[in-house]
Amino acid sequence: MNQPTPPYIPRIRDPATPIVVAIDGPAAAGKSSTARWVAERLGFYHIDSGALYRAATAAVLRACGAQQWNEPDVLTAAQRVSARDERRSFVLLVDGVELEQEMRGGAVTQNVSRVAQMRGVRDWVNAQVRSLATGRSVVVDGRDIGTVVFPDAHLKIFLIADPWERARRRLIQRLGRSPADQQIAEETERLVQRDARDSTQTVQAKDAVLIDTTYLTQEEQVERIVALVKVLKGGHGRTTPDKA
C-alpha cells in the first residue's frame, strides 16, 4: 500500500545545511531515473551507488574474468574506478575510460551481486559515496543508503513496484519499445533471481517512506519526493512538533 507521507519529517532550520535524500529499493524499481530527476528538480547532485558497483564489476571482469575471484584482486580491480564530476552527477571511468554500455550489459548484471557481496568492496563503495557527497546536497540511490551509508539521511525513500512492471519498464528502457509478454516473463525471472542474490544488502530503513510505484507515472513519483523535500525545508506538511 502506498504511504505517501511519513509520520514525521524533521525540518531543517539552517538553509545552508547540505541535504541528503536516500532512495533505496530492489532491482529496476526506478531508483536511478527517479533520483536523477529529483536531483535536477532540486539542484542537488545525484549519486548512483549501483553504478559504482557496476563499474567495479566491469573492472573486475576485465582484470580477472568471470571465474574464481579472491577479494584482494577484486579490490585492486575496483580501485581502477574513478568519478568525473559532470553536470551535478558523476560519470564513472575504469582506467580513465567511460564504460557505460559495458556497465549496463548482461555480463556485469549477472556478476554484480557477487562483487557487491564482498565486504571490502562495500566499504570501498561506501567511502566513495560519502566522499562524493561531502559538502553538497545530494540524492543518493542504492539498496542500503538509508540504513548503512547515510543512516542519518534527512529523507529516506524506499521504492518498490510489482516485479512484472519492473521487468516491463527495464525492457522498454533497454529496447526502446514495448516488449512481448514472453520477454517480460523472462526478464521478471532474472529480476527475481537478482532480488534474491541482493536480499541481504537491500534493506528498508525503519524511518523510510515506502512508495509503491506500480501504478504511478515517473512524474508522479518524482513529484511526491520533491514535495517531501519541500516539507523538510520548511514547507507545508506534517512535521515534527516544535520543541521550543
CB of 227 to ligand CDP, least distance (A): 24
Determine the straight-line distance between the first and last CA of the chain, rounded to whole angstroms.
35
Nearer Cβ to ligand CDP (49/213) = 49
Nearer Cβ to ligand CDP (149/229) = 149
Interface contacts to ligand CDP, rule CB under 6 A: 27-28, 32, 49-50, 53-54, 112-113, 116, 142-145, 194, 198, 201
CB of 241 to ligand CDP, least distance (A): 33
Q: Which of 37, 74, 70 is nearest to 55 (CA)?
A: 74
Nearer Cβ to ligand CDP (200/240) = 200
CB of 66 to ligand CDP, least distance (A): 15
CB of 229 to ligand CDP, least distance (A): 20
Nearer Cβ to ligand CDP (113/137) = 113
Rounded distance, CA 221 to CA 213, Å?
7
Burial 4-24 (b: 16+ CB within 10 A, else e): eebeebeebeeeeeebbbbbb
The greatest distance separating any two alpha carbons of the chain, rounded to the nearest whole angstrom, comes to 60
